[in-house]
Each structure stands twice: as C-alpha cells, then as structure tokens.
Structure 1
Amino acid sequence: MTYMTQTLTEPRAGLAARLKLALAIFALLAVVPPLAHAMGEPFMIIIATRMMVFAIAALSLDLILGHGAMVSFGHAAYLGFGSYAVAILSRAGISDLVLQMVAAVLASALFALVTGAISLRTRGVYFIMITLAFGQMAYFFFVSFSALGGDDGVALAARSTVLGLPLLQGETGLFYVTLGLLIAAFAGLYLLTRSRFGRVLTGTRESALRMQAIGFRPLPYQLTAYVISAAICGVAGVLLANQAVYVSPAYMSWHRSGEMIVMLVLGGVGSLTGAMTGALVTVALEEGLARFSEHWRLGFGLILVLVALLSPGGLSGLLRKFNLLRDDK
C-alpha cells in the first residue's frame, strides 16, 4: 500500500494522537515565560525563542524533504534572506515586522522559484549538489556585502515594531509572537500535507512515474512546495534576526542547512510533529551540552548515533515503539 493510499484511509485515532502531541508541545511552550520568571531564569525565554525559530525552519524543510524527497543543502539561504530583509529595511527606516516579513517572503520565494526551476530538472545527488551551489552563491554574496558588515555581519539598532508598537522589545513579547507563528506554520503545513496537493506531492515521492501515469505532472507540485518551503523559512529568518538582534552570513552557510537536516533526522523525517520536536530537542541539547564542555558536538554526535541505532524513525519512531504515537509519515 502506498503512502497516498495510507493517507486516505488513515484512522482518525492516528490523526488525533498527533494533534494531541502537537497541542501538548504548544501548551508546554506557552508556560515557559511565567515559569522562567518564577525560577529567576529569564535566559530560558531566550533559548526557548531560538528553539521555536528553528522549529519553524525545520517544519519548512520537512515539507520538501520529508514529503517531497527533495534533499536541499541550500535551505539555510532562506534564513539569511529573512534576516537580511530585517537589516536592510531597518536601515531604510522600515521597522515594521509585517512589512519585513512580506519582503522576506517575496525575496525567498523569488530565489526559490528561479533556483528551484533549475534544480528540479535534476535528481538524487545532482539535486543535492546544485542546491548546495545556489546556497553558497547566496552566502558569498552577503559575505561580500561590505555595506552590511560582510563576513562579520551587522548588529541591529533595535528589534522590529508591530504596527508601530514595540511589542518585540521584551523577550516575552518576542516569545509569544514566535509561538503564534510556529502554531500557524504547523497548522498550515498540516492542512497542506493532507490536502489533494499534499497527497500528490507525497505520491511523487513514492513514484514520480506512477503519478505521471495517472495524469499528474510532478514538477509544478514540487516547485510550488519548494517555493512555499522557502517562504516559511524566510519568516523564520526574520524572527532569528530579531531574537539575536544581529545578522550574519553564517545563518545561510551549508553547515546550517546540514544542522536543519539533522533536526529532521533526530525528530523523524516526514513527520511535522517529528520535525518540530527534533528542532526543539536539538537546540536544547546544544545549549545544555555547551554549558558542560566546549566539545559539546562530540556528545551531541553520540546522542544522534544512539537515536539512529535504536530508532531509525527518530524520536517519532521511538514514540511509536511505545505506542505513544500512531504512524505519522
């Protein structure tokens, strides 16, 4: 039975289990600020905000990698486009978050449309390498952008405003705006992946030839998903710039793209709840392990190896082993 057929006949209990898990994650995140203030650890809010920013980026990548089998090593470029949209517009006197997000979405979508139309003509390792090449082209463009600090990046004078109000100046305000956008991204992608469009996209992942045989052209669906994924990641870039109050080309290096793929592998490729959980856990582990040793990557690598050996489906697969989560591919 193909994935497309499984999606059509999936038990409602499986859907309910995944939604309950997502709601539980959102509820736990919502209580972080009051809990952090009660514990006298306001730094927890900053870490949790960063976790959610990368959860949005991971969700966007899961659309094309998990549901479309498009392994992009240039996805972090869109984080950079979103971040630099904030820096460039701020210098031009435009500090409104909504306008900055519109600019980030348009820039990311346009770049994805052009590069995706070229990249999707290839398959397998060639697709991986051409997305890597486009991502590095964007990276080196901003490295050479001396007006915005070049390789050193640039600090922002202040965070963005929301309809003229300084709602993001405090960590709590930024936290809840980020949480709201994370919920919106999850809900939108959840509905999209279970729509007719999503079923065709996933059917293309299973067999492009079979989808062509029943009358669907894979390229328009794949390219549309590629552009949507880039646009959502651009929004994450806007939030990342505001969280750090700093913009750097390092946000869009291929290393960052690799880290986002690791988030999906850890959480479970092809699962929106897994992508979100993988990003949250990855950033939390990075922050936690870095407090104990500067060689924290060694410990994180060992954890990743253990997860891969014990549960090839990532954390989502581990939950399914204990019957805590139904099939979520």
Structure 2
Amino acid sequence: MTRPGKASSAVPAADLAPLAARVLPWVLLAVLAAFPLLAPVLGLEYWLGFVRRLLIVMIAATSLNFILGYGGMAALGHAGFIGVGAYTVVALVDAGVGSAWLAWGAALAASALAAAAIGALSLRTRGVYFLMITLAFAQMLYYLAVSLSAYGGDDGYGLYTPLALGAGIDTGDEAVFFWVVLAIAALVFALFSRIAASRFGHALMGIRDNETRMSALGYPVFRLKLAAFAGAGALAGLAGALLASHNAFVSPSLMHWTESATLLVMVVLGGLGRRWGAPLGVAVWLVLAEVLKLHTEYWHWPLGLLLITVVFLAPRGLAALFARAGRAA
C-alpha cells in the first residue's frame, strides 16, 4: 500500500501487455537484422538460409491468412500463385533478364492477374465448393508446369546465375539477400496490418461474418472479395519469386496441393485472423520440423500430435493463446 501523497512507481500489468506488443516486433526486427553479422561468428551459416526461408514462407502465409482469417475465403490452392511467381522468374531468367527487381515485380503482377482471373470464377461459389474449385485451378497450374519441357518439366529448372540487386550486388550475397527479404517481409506485415485496420479490412470482416447483411447495406461484396483475393495472390507470387532466388531452383512440386494444405495448416496453427498468427504458425511448424528431422526420420507424428494439442488447448491458434496469457499477466 502506498503512502498518501506519493504516486506508485509500479506500472500496472494491464499496461505492460500493450507496451510489450508494440516493442516486441521492433526488438525482433533488430535481432533479425543483426543475425547475418552474428551467424558467421557463431557458426550458424546454415540457419541464416533457414531463417530467410522462414521469412519468405511467412509472406505467403500472411497473404493466405488475410483472405481466410479476415475474409472467410477458405482457399486450398494458394500454392498455385506461389508457383506462378516462381515460374515467372524462371521465364524471365531464361529470356536473359538479370534484374531481381524486374523479375520479382513481374512475378507480383503475373500472380495478381492469375489470382484475379481465378477469383472471378471461384468467388461465385461458396463453402466447400469454393475450396474445391481453388484446389482444381491450382492443380491445373501444377500440371501446366509439369508440361513445360522448356523449363525442365517435372525435373525443374535451375537458376545458376544470381539475380542482380544493383550496385554490383546480387542474390548470391547471403547477407544482403537476407536483409532484402527481411525488409520485404517487414513491409508486407506492416501493409496487411494497415489494411486489416482500414475500412476495406473492416468491410471484409463484415462480409466474412454476414455476407447477406453487408450486401443489403450496399457494399460491393464481390468486388471487395475479388480485390482481397487478387492482392493475396500477388503477395503469394512475390513469395514464390523470392523462394526461386533462395533455392536457385524451381520445380512443379512448389505448387502441388499438399503445399497449399501445409500452408493452410500453418495459418490455422498460428491463429486465423490474428495479426501475428501466420508468422507464428510458420515459425513453430518449420522450426519443429527442422529440429525433428535432425533427430528422427519419423518426424511427422510429433507435428500431428502438436496439431491435436493445439485443437484442444488453443482452438483459436497459438497467437490467441499468447494474447490470453498476456492479458492474464
């Protein structure tokens, strides 16, 4: 109990949680930015590439979380747009293009166009029919890639020359490429956070909750959903383009339906419609998979056990569980 006339210096626990939520992303960004400098010193060169891959997959998962968690569009073909972005890079590299920014920009545009075309048809369906038609389109893209013998067909296509980033630097520089991916990922997360808090984001969530009511209120439901679907597809394509440069190899397996399913699982694991749900789900899933692979070839069943545990203990995802723990503190 404090004495009368003297203010307490203790900060209420209720005020610490929002403060931590604001500060933690900046701390994490600073740690990640310093990681390329620390990795060689600590002998963690392998993990530098792994974390870069994490960031790329997080971009794709965040775009899926936007249409699924905020828009209620349960798509099972998101990997198709990742493949469109990756094969756009392949086509341009094969044609002699060496600029990373040109290749990645073209991948973004091509994926947006593909998503708009597919969405214009798919969004006329609902529920399981929407899920199945997006799956069907993704599988069509998969078999199209298999048939492209000029780009390696089922064997894939190797990108043996790094793409130029400018100023004599290319994607072959591990540290610089890491920082570029980190900057792009940070911009994508910030963009989706702003959009989710905007009028467009709130309208999208209203459509998710009650599409009939939003339509009766005069909202252009179909156009809003199509804009969200095309935007999410564009960012998935950008992730595919970055993944192509990261792996220096592209194959049709990148857009197989199992990749879409895994992406969906990671989003659900992290928390649908949660700001940090997709990045958290990707980090937990891929880190656990990587660690388990080092110790056992039967690494699938612990991940399955994790999903079952999350279903019972955190049905709204890990992000919701951590948020509840923060409020309780």
- Please confirm whether the aligned pair reaches a TM-score higher than 0.5, indicating the same fold: yes
Mapped contact 1:49–1:175 kept (Cα < 8 A): yes
Please list, as runs of the form range in 1=range in 2, the aligned pairs for 1:152-163 lying within 5 A after superposition: 152-163=155-166
Does residue 1:277 correspond to 2:283, yes or no?
A: no
Aligned match of 1:45:
48
Q: 1:17 to 1:131 in 2, by over 3 A?
A: farther
Separation (CA, whole Å) in 2 of partners of 1:250 and 1:242: 16
SS of 2:170's partner is coil
Aligned match of 1:262:
265
| Root-mean-square deviation over aligned CA pairs | 2.0
TM-aligned CA deviation for residue 325 of structure 1: 9.3
Mapped contact 1:54–1:280 kept (Cα < 8 A): no
Mapped contact 1:267–1:315 kept (Cα < 8 A): yes
Q: 1:223 aligns with which of 206, 222, 226?
A: 226
Separation (CA, whole Å) in 2 of partners of 1:137 and 1:114: 14
Give the counterpart letter for 1:139 in structure 2.
Y
Q: 1:208 to 1:17 in 2, by over 3 A?
A: farther
Structure 2 runs not aligned, ≥5 long: 1-13
Aligned match of 2:88:
85
Separation (CA, whole Å) in 1 of partners of 2:18 and 2:238: 27
TM-aligned CA deviation for residue 105 of structure 1: 1.3
Mapped contact 2:75–2:130 kept (Cα < 8 A): yes
Separation (CA, whole Å) in 1 of partners of 2:15 and 2:215: 30
Mapped contact 1:22–1:273 kept (Cα < 8 A): no
Please list, as runs of the form range in 1=range in 2, the aligned pairs for 1:146-157 lying within 5 A after superposition: 146-157=149-160
Aligned match of 1:233:
236
How many residue pairs get aligned? The number is 316
TM-aligned CA deviation for residue 15 of structure 1: 6.8
Mapped contact 2:146–2:252 kept (Cα < 8 A): yes
Aligned match of 1:174:
177
Does residue 1:286 correspond to 2:258, yes or no?
A: no
Q: 1:14 to 1:71 in 2, by over 3 A?
A: farther
Q: 1:84 to 1:285 in 2, by over 3 A?
A: same
Deviations 1:5-60 (Å, cap 9, x if unpaired)? xxxxxx99987654434334323322322332221120010100010000000111
Please list, as runs of the form range in 1=range in 2, the aligned pairs for 1:76-155 lying within 5 A after superposition: 76-155=79-158
SS of 2:72's partner is coil
Mapped contact 1:86–1:95 kept (Cα < 8 A): no
TM-aligned CA deviation for residue 81 of structure 1: 1.2
Q: 2:203 aligns with which of 176, 180, 200?
A: 200
Separation (CA, whole Å) in 1 of partners of 2:57 and 2:276: 13
Aligned match of 2:9:
none
Separation (CA, whole Å) in 2 of partners of 1:134 and 1:25: 37
Separation (CA, whole Å) in 2 of partners of 1:106 and 1:271: 27
Aligned match of 2:253:
250
Give the counterpart letter for 2:308 in structure 1.
V
Separation (CA, whole Å) in 1 of partners of 2:24 and 2:310: 20
Does residue 1:74 correspond to 2:77, yes or no?
A: yes
TM-score (ref. length: structure 2): 0.91
Give the counterpart letter for 2:292 in structure 1.
L
Does residue 1:302 correspond to 2:308, yes or no?
A: no
Give the counterpart letter for 1:280 in structure 2.
A
Identity, in percent, stands at 40
Q: 1:178 to 1:247 in 2, by over 3 A?
A: same
SS of 1:66's partner is helix
SS of 2:70's partner is coil
Deviations 1:272-291 (Å, cap 9, x if unpaired)? 31111111222211211111
SS of 2:169's partner is coil
Does residue 1:212 correspond to 2:215, yes or no?
A: yes
Aligned match of 2:7:
none
Structure 1 runs not aligned, ≥5 long: 1-10
TM-score (ref. length: structure 1): 0.91
Give the counterpart letter for 2:318 in structure 1.
L
Deviations 1:211-251 (Å, cap 9, x if unpaired)? 11221121100000000001111111111011111001111
Q: 1:12 to 1:81 in 2, by over 3 A?
A: farther
Mapped contact 2:17–2:326 kept (Cα < 8 A): no
TM-aligned CA deviation for residue 99 of structure 1: 0.8
Q: 1:164 to 1:30 in 2, by over 3 A?
A: closer
Q: 1:117 to 1:94 in 2, by over 3 A?
A: same
Mapped contact 2:85–2:239 kept (Cα < 8 A): yes
Please say which structure displays the higher CA radius of gyration.
2
SS of 1:220's partner is helix
Aligned match of 1:3:
none
